[in-house]
Amino acid sequence: MKVKVLCRNPDDYVRETTRDIQRVPRNYDPTLHPFEVPREYTRALNATKLQKVFAKPFVASLDGHRDGISCIVKHPKSLSTVISGACDGEVKVWNLSKRECLRTVQAHEGFVRGMCSRFCGTSFFTVGDDKTIKQWNMEAPGYGVRDEPINTILGKTVFTGIDHHYKEGTFATCGQTVDIWDEQRSSPLRSFSWGVDSFNCVRFNPVETELLASCGSDRSIILYDTREAAPLRKVIMKMRNNTLSWNQMEAYYFVCANEDYNLYTYDIRYLDIPVTVHMDHVSAVLDVDYSPTGRELVSASFDKTIRIFGKDAGHSREVYHTKRMQHVICVRWSADNKYIMSGSDEMNIRLWKANASEKLGLLSAREKAAANYNKKLIEKFQYHPQVKRIATYRHLPRELLRQKREQREMKLAQRRKDVNIRKHSKPGSIPVVTEKEKHVVAVVE
């Protein structure tokens, strides 16, 4: 006789260990789970709210400098090490994880204008107002030994910026001219000049390592190739650029921080129009840095805020500010894409999370899955007005808000005026100039 019995595979319902969660067999029949859109919408809304609840970007503040911070440099090989230079010529080496200063050096008399670390992370260079370039060992000297530079080069003029080649032992400085130096020599290998004005920033391309770009005080950005005899091309903009940063994943993009409150992303092949104009700051942008993934960029501004922009986004996705943070002079994105360091006028270095609501530390698989799901939900429902409203709202200090509104007003007025002028003039006589085209004066070959 055949006896029919229900037979189940224990693998389907028995958990492997008692610490596992109970296995719940699911039936995915859509009729059993109705209202998927409203339910997901609610989840998305909740996720958005939670994201705002957990958005606590400020991690730490490193104090110790006795003057405004003028520059910050990441260690190329160690995430926890950061070097900062101040306006009184002092250079400090910090340990971020311990949040303490490891070493203090009086590097220059006057400002420390620029710093850079060697690609191998064994030493770093500083330039200051005292017309010197100094190379320092990354490791602190032993107890009782005076901290002295490995090498000092005395220049003829003041150097305002320095950057090191990403693969070779050469570095570039800027001042009256852009000079390419060999580490072993006391005079520049070559110097580029185009016009008479001085430069305030020079940066090597991290991917195409022979390329470099500089910002001049004549409102220009000049591209160079160390293999070529002459500079490549010059773009003149309406206002001066303070700094620029190369995208380290996409070789031909760089972004420059302009005095006209905007940032401009350029494709070096097509310099006549910037690829993107990043607007939102309400005062001059002083520094900019790409994230190591090349997907985002962070900017520091004179308006006492830090803003994070998407690579292609015209407006910022995030704004960081604190009551005590003054004009932010320099900003850097950490090499693991998780933190942002900012140095400001009031002598503090601040450490921020790059993703304000991200949970730091180890995540369990379920936490990770939940985070991913929430992120995707917010992304999916980002156009819904309620979600959008919550997700994009940022608190701004009153003064800042006032400035922002004022500027918006001004911009609208200008636009209105343009439209009116166009309306009352012969059709076609006044061309429509896009926002991108507005800011470039000329491209000089």
Residue 128 amino acid letter: G
CA–CA–CA angle 73, 75, 80 (5° rounding): 105
Binding other proteins (rule: CB under 8 A), the pick from 79, 101, 236, 239 is: 79
Q: Which of 52, 384, 422, 438 binds other proteins (CB under 8 A)?
A: 384
Between 360 and 441, CB nearer to other proteins: 360
Give the number of other CB atoms < 10 A from CB of residue 5.
5
- The answer to whether 183 contacts other proteins (rule: CB under 8 A) is no
The token pair that represents 375 in the structure block: 């992120």
Distance (Å, whole) CA 219 – CA 234: 10
Q: How far is the CB of 327 from other proteins (least distance, A)?
A: 29
At 74, the amino acid letter reads: K
The answer to the question of residue 229 lying near other proteins (CB under 8 A) is yes
Choose which of 232, 236, 390, 396 interacts with other proteins (CB under 8 A).
Answer: 232
- Within 417-436, the residues that bind other proteins by CB under 8 A are none
Cβ closer to other proteins: 302 or 381?
381
Q: 265-294 mask for other proteins (x: CB under 8 A)?
A: ---xx----------------------xx-
User: Does position 251 bind other proteins by CB under 8 A?
Assistant: yes
Residue choice 317, 375, 404, 436 for contact with other proteins (CB under 8 A): 375
Helix axes 385-392, 36-54, angle to 10 degrees: 10
3-state secondary structure 15-76: CCCCCCCCCCCCCCCHHHCCCHHHHHHHHHHHHHHHHHHHCCCEEEEEECCCCCEEEEEECC
* Sign of the dihedral through C-alpha 108, 112, 114, 116: positive
Question: Segment 308-347, which members bind other proteins (CB under 8 A)?
Answer: 335-338
Shortest reach from residue 124's CB to other proteins, in Å: 17
Nearest to 444 by CA among 184, 133, 195: 195
Angstrom CA distances, 421 to 410, 418, 424, 429, stand at: 16, 5, 5, 10
For position 373 contacting other proteins by CB under 8 A, the verdict is yes
Q: Judged by CB under 8 A, how many residues of this single chain contact other proteins?
A: 55
Task: Report the 10 Å Cβ neighbour count for 198.
Answer: 16
The answer to the question of residue 228 lying near other proteins (CB under 8 A) is yes
d(CA 59, CA 304): 17
Question: Can residue 88 be called a binding residue for other proteins (CB under 8 A)?
Answer: no
- Taking the C-alpha atoms of 149, 154, 157 and 163 in order, what is their torsion angle to the nearest 10 degrees? -40
As measured in angstroms, the least distance from the Cβ of 134 to other proteins is 26
Position 168 contacts other proteins (CB under 8 A)? no
Least Å distance, CB 108 to other proteins, is: 29
Residue numbers 11-30 binding other proteins by CB under 8 A = 26, 28, 30
Closer residue to other proteins (CB): 222 or 306: 222
**Residues at the contact surface with other proteins, assessed by CB under 8 A:** 26, 28, 30, 33, 36-37, 39-41, 43, 76-77, 79, 166, 206-208, 211, 223, 225, 228-233, 248-252, 268-269, 292-293, 295, 335-338, 360-361, 369, 372-373, 375-377, 380-381, 383-386, 445
